[in-house]
Structure 1
Amino acid sequence: MVVFRYVKLWVLLYVLTWGCGSSSRDGEFTLTVTMAKVEPQSKIFLFYKDVSDNLRMDSAIYVNGRFTLKGVTPLPQRALMRLSRGNQGAPVFFEDAVYFTDDAIFLFLEEGEIKVSVHDVLRGAKLEGTPLNKDFQVYTDSVRFYRDWLDGYRERFGKAYRERNNESLDSLSKENAVMRAKKVKAERRYFDTHLGSIVALDWLARTYNIAREKSKIVPLFEKLEEQVKSSLPGQKYKALLDSVPSVELGNMAPDFVVENSKGERITLSSYRGKYVLLDFWASWCGPCRAENVNVLKVYDRFKEKGFTVVGYSLDFSRKSWLNAVEKDSLPWEQLSGLGDTEIDVSKLYGVSAVPSNFLIDPVGKIIAIDLRGEELVKKLEQLFSN
């Protein structure tokens, strides 16, 4: 499976401190990063949202054993801080920087004196000074084991990949699943013991896919203390929960209108009466192209029995998309978000990685998700054997 990120720079919830009327008066903060020694000309860079909801980057230079940065945040919010050593210049922003460099951490911006104590790299820094950062430090400590484990895992995975050692790759994949499950378990334990914290809401919003996991999210949101749910970020998240349709099993597949490869406007509901495989893919996705071979066999086998496929491309290039359609000899309807459309269907269906698909029955209900290979064949055999 190939993971992709939508064209966006940041996914943040603005957050308030506890209690009604606790929003910052003017949002002024002072961030002090104490560090014993660092190369001359080094800077810290802080990425956060401004009052217009745009990504902002501020920086501070190293003076007398510390970096000091003053600014204004419209509301308390989760932010990314990165260290650029010497004359490296401004770092590129990416949300997963904390997992790929020792010189990046998350913290919470809020009114007041935010203090960060650092040894020689930002990793392992101690957050103090404001309530949210003290609380976030508890969360960070609870999942520190996962980031520590990732160091050796990436090295072992890289070695196995270079050597094309499939047995090791399979073992490492299973190990990764176990460690990710342990991380989620630790995070859930944090959530259950911090129901009065905005940090818990932030974790909930970042962890779950509303479209695909709405039935899991709603009861967790309801567990949060009223002061969190009634805060501005709580209200915003609740509004999002209410507005995003669920694409979980048993629910009706959300309808949409988008252009096909010929520029014609197509609706999903126009396929009512057939079993439809709504297939999300892209020309640049190797696993997608490999799965196209299997889907084509399935299509040819069941197309006369009331089955069809609707492809939805996540390509950025129309030429690459259509070339892949031709090369893979895909005869079914091909849609994309490249044309004149008011909706991103991949977001509507909560698709964060490809290949991904939804099997929809003749009345428009979702009856299976992410079936591939033999699983897809067996499901269709079951449906058409009756």
Structure 2
Amino acid sequence: MKMTRLILLALLAPFFALAQAPNFSLTGKIGTLGKPAMAYIDYMDNGVSHEDSAAVVNGSFKFSGHISGIAYARMALDHTGDGKGRAVYTGDVIYFYFGKEQVMVTSKDSLQNALFTGSKIYNESEAYNKEIGGTIMALTKAVNIDFNSGTPEQQKDPVYIKAVDQRYRKNLQDRTDKQFAFAKAHPSSYFALVALSEAAGSKVDVAKVQPLFNALSKELKATDMGQELAQRIEANGITAVGNAAPLFTQNNAVGKPVSLASFKGKVVLVEFWASWCGPCRAENPNLVKQYQTYKDKGFEILSVSLDNVKERWLEAIEKDGLAWTHVSDLKGWNNEVGRLYGVRAVPASFLVDADGKIIGNGLRGEPLNTKLAEIFK
């Protein structure tokens, strides 16, 4: 039996190797950059995140790997050896889609000025962005230019600031309207799903989104993005105030399962957060204060982290002094509880009463404090 199993594994080995053989490459040529320059890439493939790095030699670098479909990437170029963190957040960085292709990225000086060749998917994404009015990053850049075009006096004027903000919000709404129109006009395009997923947002207008989602091809619905959007549409109904909070079980930091059901009889704030989320960390001192005020009266917090690095998660818990129950499956945005609740941005929260019903969502700061004061008066 053992010999048979070894023979079978030997026969299957070439097939396993073939299945994971690289089916894409991203080759860069950015001027004549050299040591200590580094290139970094993070990409999401059907719900699974990947990352890689490469030294830049005479301007050249290359990434390759295996993807199941269309991937979304962030590529950063560290020109001076300051590390990935600075390159990603303050340096030369671009975002793009690519497929099972041999892609060339070339420029005389930077990624931000790079030309893409060899990618049909990239070209389709560019056409999509042109049709909807540009990416969010492009619109953000445009509003900054709009604001900075004013005089120093205007930039301090509330009327001027409000006018700039209104133009920006109108551009955002126009973009969203065009995304819905794109999804309706191109139900077989991958970017119809991208458009609908983004335009739907966290608070899904089911009457508007559901028919467009139903019209998408089966292949698109079967992708991780399609399944996540389906969950978000469903969550919009089941997580409404007045409904029973969806039950779940997830492991705490030491691997022990914790269930929401075990908190029945107490008022529970199901809090979605992450160590890397600035607004979440800014709200934590208030949560600490509210927890200390009401924990002896039947208030609990069950924090669900959207982290994917355990050490960072635990470090944030300790640093912020969060002395309540914490769980995570360390799958980042693919956290199963987050998807169950339709969470697309953090912080997000659902206040659950002693009977397990949702009595508030999105509460933080003073609105949360006021609600808790009413409950425990």
Q: TM-score range by the shorter chain?
A: 0.5 to 0.7
1:102 Cα offset (Å): 3.9
> What are the within-5 Å matches in structure 2 for residues 75-224 of structure 1?
75-80=68-73, 82=75, 84=77, 88=80, 92=84, 97=88, 100-111=90-101, 113-116=102-105, 118=107, 120-123=109-112, 125-141=114-130, 142-144=133-135, 145-149=138-142, 152=145, 178=169, 181=173, 183-204=175-196, 213=204, 215=206, 218-224=210-216
Secondary structure in 1 aligned to 2:111?
coil
Kindly tell me: are residues 138 and 282 of structure 1, through their superposed partners in 2, closer, same or farther at Cα, counting changes over 3 Å? Answer: closer
Q: How many angstroms apart in 2 are the aligned matches of 1:173 and 1:359?
A: 36
Kindly indicate whether residue 307 of structure 2 is the aligned counterpart of residue 316 of structure 1: no
SS in 2 for 1:82: strand
Q: CA deviation at 1:367?
A: 3.5
Alignment size in residue pairs: 325
Partner of 2:281: 285
Answer yes or no: is 1:234 the counterpart of 2:216.
no
Amino acid at match of 1:248: T
The structure-2 alpha-carbon separation of the partners of 1:60 and 1:50, relative to structure 1 and needing over 3 Å to count, comes to farther
1:249-280: CA deviation from partner (whole Å, max 9, x where unpaired):
15431223468999997643345466544345
Q: 1:337 to 1:185 in 2, by over 3 A?
A: same
Structure 2 distance, partners of 1:122, 1:383, is: 54
Q: Distance in 1 between matches of 2:45 and 2:255?
A: 38
Q: Deviations over 1:1-20 (max 9, x none)?
A: xxxxxxxxxxxxxxxxxxxx
Unaligned runs of 5+ in 2: 1-18, 306-311, 330-334
What TM-score do the two structures reach when normalised by structure 2? 0.58
RMSD of the TM alignment (CA)? 5.6
Match of 1:12 in 2: none
Shift of residue 281 of structure 1? Answer: 6.6
Specify the SS of the correspondent of 1:135: helix
Letter in 1 for 2:193: L
Identity %: 22
Q: Residue 9 of structure 2 corresponds to which residue in structure 1?
A: none
After TM superposition, the structure 1 = structure 2 runs for residues 236-255 of structure 1, keeping only pairs within 5 Å, are 236-240=224-228, 246=235, 248-250=239-241, 251-255=243-247
- In the TM superposition, what is the alpha-carbon distance from 1:132 to its structure 2 partner? 1.7
Query: What's the counterpart of residue 358 of structure 1?
Result: 350
Higher relative contact order (CA 8 A, sep 6+): 1
Deviation at 1:338, TM superposition (A): 7.5
State yes or no: 1:335 paired with 2:325.
yes
Q: Measured at CA, do residues 335 and 134 of structure 1 come closer, stay the same or move farther in structure 2, by a change above 3 Å? A: same
CA offsets per residue over residues 284-310 of structure 1, 9 Å max, x none?
A: 82323135545766778xx5xxx7443
